[in-house]
């Protein structure tokens, strides 16, 4: 939860994406994008199931042709998550996607074929109660925008996004979500700050081409963490060159780090120092792996020494602090027992199971 350390959330207007609400007082929506061929219904649904199990709220699929648009019908009927259709260039694909059950479509109104074709898409969206995400990208700004603003930068991206929004509004729809993405975190921050000032539509945050999981998570956390701390952002997608389930896990980590959600176990562990007399690094990794399935909000500490350990980790619900060949087992700063190093992990897990049984949980903050 926001403990008052963050800026108040920017009040965005509410947009419904199937059963999911973006903006308003709704929790920040975590989304991802399928890496599967949408025409392969079984593979796409299998990946959506995995995304849902990881805590994803919404997924997007690419619609490169009519076959993919038609596949949506079965995907949407069997999907546990609302499905967003990603369309470029061809307005007929956008219409087909909506008619086949897409909960939202993502288009760039500038490349959908002109005002008349955009109006046909908008008419179809209105008839089906489907919102549009207007998505602009630093890598695909129009020549006109680049010339007008002297190249890629926040002014060109903001102008491009707002021009696209006006085009959709003029065509008759105000159920709009905006995304303006760049691979540069600083540019992503600048653009979304400006959009937050200029409009009250929900903002979809993301860093494009963020990279491999290691690099991409940091780049996304810098950009999205900054914006979210300023109260900006209603839905997030962490783009990684990896299994999309990792995107969802990264999104949860960012939201948990800011206190915007309380869900699942969080490991806090010390960096180790000259006082450490146990082999803490593999042990912390093992604890992190073993608590990954816990859905109850819980903070677990793994500390290197008894001098500072239980005290430093007083805020943790449970923890262990290493000594010479043994660990102290503690809860909220209170030492409960001394256990041999070889039993420390099992004893910690037993304590968690005893004090924080899963059946009591209401894991998800949404």
Binding interface with ligand SF4 (CB under 6 A): 270-273, 275-276, 303-305, 307-309, 312
* Cα separation, 157 vs 179, whole angstroms: 10
Between 2 and 272, whose beta carbon lies closer to ligand SF4?
272
Report, in Å, the least distance between residue 334 CB and ligand SF4.
Answer: 17
Between 271 and 293, whose beta carbon lies closer to ligand SF4?
271
Between 274 and 293, whose beta carbon lies closer to ligand SF4?
274
Report, in Å, the least distance between residue 284 CB and ligand SF4.
Answer: 11
Report, in Å, the least distance between residue 335 CB and ligand SF4.
Answer: 14
Task: Determine what percent of the chain falls in helix, strand and coil, rounding each to the nearest 5.
Answer: 45, 20, 35
Between 17 and 305, whose beta carbon lies closer to ligand SF4?
305
The helix/strand/coil state of 66 is helix
Between 93 and 270, whose beta carbon lies closer to ligand SF4?
270
Report, in Å, the least distance between residue 351 CB and ligand SF4.
Answer: 19
> What is the gyration radius of the CA atoms in the chain, in angstroms?
23
CB 27 within 8 A of CB 34: no
When CB distances to ligand SF4 are compared, the closest residue is 304
Report, in Å, the least distance between residue 324 CB and ligand SF4.
Answer: 12
Report, in Å, the least distance between residue 327 CB and ligand SF4.
Answer: 12
Q: Where are the alpha helices (DSSP H) in 129-279?
A: 143-149, 154-171, 185-198, 213-229, 244-257
Between 271 and 282, whose beta carbon lies closer to ligand SF4?
271
- Count helices and strands (H / E) in the chain: 12, 15
What would the two tokens of residue 354 be?
């005893």
Long-range contacts, 279-286 (Cβ 8 Å, 24+)? 279/341, 280/304, 280/322, 283/344, 283/345, 286/345
Between 307 and 353, whose beta carbon lies closer to ligand SF4?
307
CB 138 within 8 A of CB 182: yes
Report, in Å, the least distance between residue 349 CB and ligand SF4.
Answer: 21
Between 92 and 275, whose beta carbon lies closer to ligand SF4?
275
The helix/strand/coil state of 340 is strand
Report, in Å, the least distance between residue 84 CB and ligand SF4.
Answer: 44
What would the two tokens of residue 196 be?
């937050």
Between 111 and 276, whose beta carbon lies closer to ligand SF4?
276
Report, in Å, the least distance between residue 272 CB and ligand SF4.
Answer: 5
Report, in Å, the least distance between residue 245 CB and ligand SF4.
Answer: 32
Between 41 and 281, whose beta carbon lies closer to ligand SF4?
281
Answer positive or negative: Cα dihedral of 361, 59, 73, 174.
positive
Angle between helix 213-229 and 185-198 (nearest 10): 30
Answer positive or negative: Cα dihedral of 283, 344, 257, 248.
positive
CB 202 within 8 A of CB 177: yes
CB 254 within 8 A of CB 236: yes
* Cα separation, 68 vs 287, whole angstroms: 42
């Amino acid at each position: 939860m926001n403990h008052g350390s963050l800026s108040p959330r920017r009040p965005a207007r509410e947009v419904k994406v199937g059963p999911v609400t973006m903006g308003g007082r709704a929790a920040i929506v975590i989304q991802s994008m399928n890496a599967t061929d949408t025409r392969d219904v079984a593979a796409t649904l299998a990946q959506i199931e995995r995304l849902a199990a990881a805590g994803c709220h919404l997924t997007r699929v690419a619609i490169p042709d009519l076959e993919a648009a038609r596949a949506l019908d079965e995907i949407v009927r069997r999907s546990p998550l609302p499905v967003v259709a990603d369309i470029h260039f061809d307005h007929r694909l956008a219409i087909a996607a909506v008619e086949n059950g897409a909960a939202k479509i993502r288009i760039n109104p500038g490349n959908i074929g002109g005002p008349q074709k955009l109006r046909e898409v908008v008419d179809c969206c209105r008839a089906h109660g489907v919102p549009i995400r207007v998505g602009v990208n630093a890598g695909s700004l129009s020549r006109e925008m680049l010339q007008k603003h002297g190249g890629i930068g926040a002014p060109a991206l903001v102008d491009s996004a707002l021009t696209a929004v006006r085009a959709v509004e003029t065509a008759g729809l105000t159920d709009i979500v905006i995304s303006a993405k760049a691979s540069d975190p600083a540019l992503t921050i600048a653009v979304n700050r400006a959009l937050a000032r200029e409009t009250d539509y929900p903002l979809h945050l993301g860093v494009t081409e963020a990279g491999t999981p290691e690099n991409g998570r940091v780049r996304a956390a810098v950009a999205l963490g900054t914006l979210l701390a300023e109260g900006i952002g209603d839905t997030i997608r962490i783009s990684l060159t990896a299994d999309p389930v990792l995107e969802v896990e990264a999104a949860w980590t960012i939201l948990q780090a800011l206190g915007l959600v309380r869900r699942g176990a969080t490991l806090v562990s010390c960096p180790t120092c000259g006082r450490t007399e146990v082999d803490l690094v593999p042990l912390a990794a093992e604890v992190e792996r073993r608590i990954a399935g816990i859905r109850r909000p819980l903070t677990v500490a793994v500390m290197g020494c008894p001098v500072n350990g239980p005290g430093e980790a007083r805020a943790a619900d449970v923890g262990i602090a290493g000594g010479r060949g043994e660990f102290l087992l503690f809860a909220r700063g209170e030492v409960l027992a001394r256990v041999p190093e070889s039993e420390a992990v099992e004893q910690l897990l037993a304590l968690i199971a005893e004090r924080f049984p899963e059946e009591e949980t209401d894991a998800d903050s949404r």
